[in-house]
């Protein structure tokens, strides 16, 4: 057929025979001749200038320069920086999924997805500032200890800046995607026979003795960049603060950065009140939660163990800063079991959002806080997803393909012959489950 009257906004056309189909027609090829279909659009009722103006306006105010979701906030990050090393990064989405409201018991839970950063985690926000500062102080090399994401990010930004990078990660327990990134971006990668806490001790010694610029989150410039997670989410909410911001906590750099961002945003009059922070640790790596339970009477150190390798940390470096953040925001610290983390991850993954295990701790934390009555369902909460689903592919394969008996959310792949009847059988099985 051909549209006779005024054309709709969009339609499908067969390039082979000219047949036209509605935009919503489900055929995968032209039903008349089997040719390939193409979508066509009626030009909008705008002048060229109006149309291009709209594109530019949406992209940002500074045509020609890619916008960074960190350096947009430069007045509150590092105003004096000039030679900026930016990918760019930030500008991550604030998402909502009904399925996660149901899972957590919240009326409307928002997710700030930091996995959408260039190397797949929030670390890029700190690293653009950290590496910019390394260049400013004329560092000749940069280094970090890491559970994997910091090292992936450092490797990428150092290579962009043309700086040699040294990273130290635990020989056992770095997720595959993260290790692969460090190698691919060209960092000298040391697999340390020890845990993250050993790596951090060693890299601090090495940077002092060998004159290498240290880019762990004890570096304050990193935290300035990470503050923009909070600034950006406040901006996305038109500067109406949520009641809660919930985040996973390991080395406590991010908890410290969030507290500082809120303190400054409040002091600068950007927000009328402070949201409460909820820092979520894995139960097997929860020294901060232990201290919180005792009113921060003393600092704890533990031997850390959890499936969420990103937060497998027993002696968090930013302890004091994080205590201040929790106190000033009337915050809470809690611990969730590995089982809860994996369930939360299956829920986040299963609704098409996806995140790495440590990130799911924040969603597991929301559910626990709702159950305990600390968080009321009608309150406004934002949970931060800190890393991308593909950071840790091994845990996914194990969960979906290998765990016996299959966990409730397991999605077993089905191997079949290239035969239509077998496809039909598999489809039928799926409909029945
Ligand atoms: N989520 C992810 C995905 C992380 O990689 C980390 C920390 C955290 C949460 C916790 O943040 O340490 O500031 O409390 N990863 C560090 C690393 C330790 O080396 O990549 P934190």
| Distance of CA 65 from the midpoint of ligand 1 (Å) | 29
pLDDT at position 64:
54
Whether the Cβ atoms of residue 306 and residue 312 lie closer than 8 Å to each other: yes
Counting from 1 in the atom list of ligand 1, the atom nearest the Cα of 322 is 14
CATH topology of domain 121-214: Rossmann fold (3.40.50)
| Distance of CA 425 from the midpoint of ligand 1 (Å) | 44
Q: What is the rounded CA–CA span in Å between residue 31 and residue 52? A: 36
Domain with CATH 2.20.28 in the chain: 1-42
> Which residue CA neighbors atom 7 of ligand 1 most closely?
310
Distances (CA, A) of 60 to 49, 55, 69, 425: 16, 9, 11, 51
pLDDT at position 65:
60
CATH topology of domain 94-120+220-395: Rossmann fold (3.40.50)
Mutate to test the pocket of ligand 1, among 386, 387, 390, 391 (most ligand atoms within 8 A of CB): 386
| Distance of CA 380 from the midpoint of ligand 1 (Å) | 24
Ligand 1 site: residues with CB under 6 angstroms?
A: 121, 123, 146-150, 217, 248-255, 310-311, 356, 358-359, 386-387
Whether the Cβ atoms of residue 178 and residue 358 lie closer than 8 Å to each other: no
Tokens 């949520």 -> residue: 242
Q: Which residues of 287-300 are buried (b: 16+ CB within 10 A; e: fewer)?
A: bbbbbbeeebeeeb
Domain with CATH 3.40.50.1100 in the chain: 94-120+220-395, 121-214
Both tokens of 83, joined, read 């030679």
Residues 218, 223, 226, 230: what is their CA dihedral angle, to the nearest 10 degrees? 130
Counting from 1 in the atom list of ligand 1, the atom nearest the Cα of 247 is 9
Q: Can you give the chain as a three-state secondary structure string? A: CCCCCCCCCEEEEECCCCCEEECCCCCCCCCCCCCCEEEEECCCCCCHHHHHHHHHHHHCCCCCCCCCCCHHHHHHCCCCCCCCCCCCCCCCCEEECHHHHHHHCCCCEEEEEHHHCCCCECHHHHHHHHHHHHHHCCCCCEEEECCCHHHHHHHHHHHHHCCCEEEEEECCCCCHHHHHHHHHCCCEEEEECCCHHHHHHHHHHHHHHHCCEECCCCCHHHHHHHHHHHHHHHHHCCCCCCCEEEEECCCCHHHHHHHHHHHHHHHCCCCCCCCEEEEEEEHHHCHHHHHHHCCCCCCCCCCCCCCCHHHCCCCCCCHHHHHHHHHHCCCEEEEECHHHHHHHHHHHHHCCCCCCHHHHHHHHHHHHHHHCCCCCCCCCEEEEECECHHHCHHHHHHHHHHCCCCCCCCCCCCCCCCCHHHHHHHHHHHHHC
Judge: domain 1-42, CATH 2.20.28. yes
* Nearest to 363, CA basis, from 390, 398, 336, 388: 336
Query: In which region does residue 165 sit, left (phi positive, over 0), alpha (psi from -120 to 50) or beta (all else)?
Result: beta
List 111's β-bridge partners, or say none: 95, 383
Cα–chain center distance at 113:
5
pLDDT at position 408:
81
Distances (CA, A) of 174 to 148, 333, 403: 6, 25, 20
The whole-model pTM stands at 0.93
Q: What is the rounded CA–CA span in Å between residue 206 and residue 212? A: 7
What does the pLDDT profile of the chain (433 residues) look like in tens digits?
887 767 899 999 999 999 999 999 999 999 999 999 999 999 889 998 898 888 777 766 665 566 899 998 999 999 999 899 999 999 999 999 999 999 999 999 999 999 999 999 999 999 999 999 999 999 999 999 999 999 999 999 999 999 999 999 999 989 999 999 999 999 999 999 999 999 999 999 999 999 999 999 899 999 999 999 999 999 999 999 999 999 999 999 999 999 999 999 999 999 999 999 999 999 999 999 999 999 999 999 999 999 999 999 999 999 999 999 999 999 999 999 999 999 999 999 999 999 999 999 999 999 999 999 999 999 999 999 999 999 999 999 999 999 899 888 789 999 999 999 999 999 998 777 6
Tokens 């039903």 -> residue: 31
Mutate to test the pocket of ligand 1, among 216, 311, 389 (most ligand atoms within 8 A of CB): 311
């Amino acid at each position: 057929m051909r549209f006779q009257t005024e054309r709709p906004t969009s339609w499908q056309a067969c390039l082979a025979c000219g047949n036209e189909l509605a935009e919503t027609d489900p055929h995968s090829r032209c039903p008349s001749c089997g040719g390939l279909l193409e979508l066509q659009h009626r030009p909008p009722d705008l002048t060229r200038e109006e149309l291009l103006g709209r594109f530019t306006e949406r992209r940002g105010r500074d045509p020609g320069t890619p916008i960074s979701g960190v350096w947009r906030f430069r007045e509150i990050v590092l105003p004096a920086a000039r030679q900026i090393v930016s990918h760019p990064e930030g500008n991550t989405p604030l998402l909502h999924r009904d399925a996660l409201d149901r899972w957590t018991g919240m009326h409307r839970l928002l997710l700030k997805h930091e996995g959408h950063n260039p190397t797949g985690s929030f670390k890029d926000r700190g690293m653009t500032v950290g590496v910019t500062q390394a260049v400013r102080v004329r560092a000749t090399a940069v280094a970090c200890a890491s559970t994997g994401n910091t090292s992936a990010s450092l490797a990428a930004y150092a290579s962009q800046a043309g700086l040699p990078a040294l990273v130290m990660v635990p020989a056992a327990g770095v997720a595959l995607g993260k290790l692969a990134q460090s190698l691919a971006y060209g960092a000298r990668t040391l697999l340390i026979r020890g845990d993250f806490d050993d790596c951090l001790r060693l890299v601090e010694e090495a940077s002092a003795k060998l004159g290498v610029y240290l880019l762990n989150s004890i570096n304050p410039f990193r935290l300035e960049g990470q503050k923009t997670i909070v600034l950006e989410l406040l901006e996305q909410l038109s500067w109406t603060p949520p009641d809660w911001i919930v985040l996973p906590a390991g080395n406590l750099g991010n908890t410290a950065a969030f507290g500082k961002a809120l303190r400054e945003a409040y002091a600068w009059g950007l927000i009328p009140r402070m949201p409460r922070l909820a820092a979520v640790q894995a139960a097997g790596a929860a020294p901060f939660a232990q201290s919180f339970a005792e009113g921060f009477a003393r600092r704890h150190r533990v031997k850390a163990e959890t499936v969420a390798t990103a937060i497998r940390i027993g002696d968090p470096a930013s302890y004091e800063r994080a205590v201040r953040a929790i106190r000033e925001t009337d915050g809470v610290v809690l611990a969730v079991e590995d089982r809860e983390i994996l369930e939360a991850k299956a829920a986040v993954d299963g609704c098409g959002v996806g995140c790495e295990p440590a990130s799911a701790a924040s969603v597991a934390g929301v559910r626990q806080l709702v159950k305990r009555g600390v968080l009321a369902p009608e309150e406004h909460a934002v949970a931060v997803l800190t890393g991308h689903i593909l950071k840790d592919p091994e845990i996914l394969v194990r969960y979906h393909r290998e765990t016996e008996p299959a966990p409730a959310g397991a999605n077993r792949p089905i191997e079949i012959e290239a035969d239509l009847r077998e496809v039909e059988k598999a489809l039928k099985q799926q409909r029945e489950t």
